[in-house]
A and B are shown apart, each in its own frame.
Chain A
Amino acid sequence: MSISVIVKIVVTVLILGGTALSILSAFGMLRLPDVYTRTHAATKSTTLGVLCTLLGTFLYFWQTQDIVSIRLLLGIVFVFLTAPVAGHLICRAAYRSGVELAQESTEDELKKVLDKREKREN
């Protein structure tokens, strides 16, 4: 098997895998109960899905047209850095504005820490 066929198989697996992960996170957005678990689904699996798709695209253009696209690499680094931070900020804003946890959750560890800190500062 020549190199180009191997690369094409790898590219196919990466792009299909990335698409599957994005679909999975869309299902997570629909099915999970509250904003925190939804952010968990939306940031983690979508980030990996986008990274897989971009990596597949990068490999494809590298192999077939000899284009080493710095923009795609930069995009991979950028999404990898920023998507989890966006999730963190959305979650934090939700917690600070008092969004309740789902019924099933048993423990709220951040609440204890925040209460203790408030007591210490008063």
Chain B
Amino acid sequence: MKPNDVILQTVTKIVTFIILTFAIYLFLAGHHEPGGGFIGGLVIASALTLLYLAFDIETVREGLPVDFKVVAAVGVFIAVATGMGSILFDQPFLSQAFGYFNLPIFGKTELATAVLFDLGVALAVVGTGVTIILSISRDA
């Protein structure tokens, strides 16, 4: 008898958006409030895990055709590349800079290069987490 998961799947469709929104909030809030790349990446990985639980692995892979090992590699590359970027300006490796810019919608905004490093951390965490979950959950 085929079980029907309609309640779990419907709620997952709504809740995933809340979790992903919260993950982006945590990622962007990391400079001044609790949050940052690591916890943002973990929350994104947990949203993906919820999708894998409610639907099956093949369905999610069709909708999101991403190799998460590549995501982890790209994350590490971005983190190292932002560190190397500071060498171009005659600064020590991994130096940070920030400045205030007038953006069209947001007005005066503080932009920091630390966010790019955090993006690398977040991608590395998402890639590692989802890879671990996928590799231990696969049917033998």
Residues of A at under 8 Å CB distance from B?
Answer: 70-71, 74, 77-78, 81-82, 85, 88-89, 96, 114, 117-118, 121
Among B1, B11, B22, point to the contact of A74 (Cβ < 8 A): B22
Q: Is B8's CB under 8 angstroms from A121's CB?
A: no
- Nearest Cβ in chain A — how far from B53, in angstroms? 10
The size class of the interface chain B forms with chain A is 10 to 19
Residues of B at under 8 Å CB distance from A?
Answer: 1, 3, 7-8, 11, 14-15, 18, 21-22, 25
Which 7 interchain pairs have the tightest Cβ spacing? Answer: A85-B11, A78-B18, A81-B15, A88-B7, A81-B11, A82-B15, A85-B7
Q: Is A78's CB under 8 angstroms from B15's CB?
A: yes
Q: Is A74's CB under 8 angstroms from B18's CB?
A: yes
- Nearest Cβ in chain A — how far from B6, in angstroms? 11
Q: Is the interface of A mostly helix, strand, loop or mixed?
A: helix
Q: Is B11's CB under 8 angstroms from A82's CB?
A: yes
- Nearest Cβ in chain A — how far from B10, in angstroms? 9
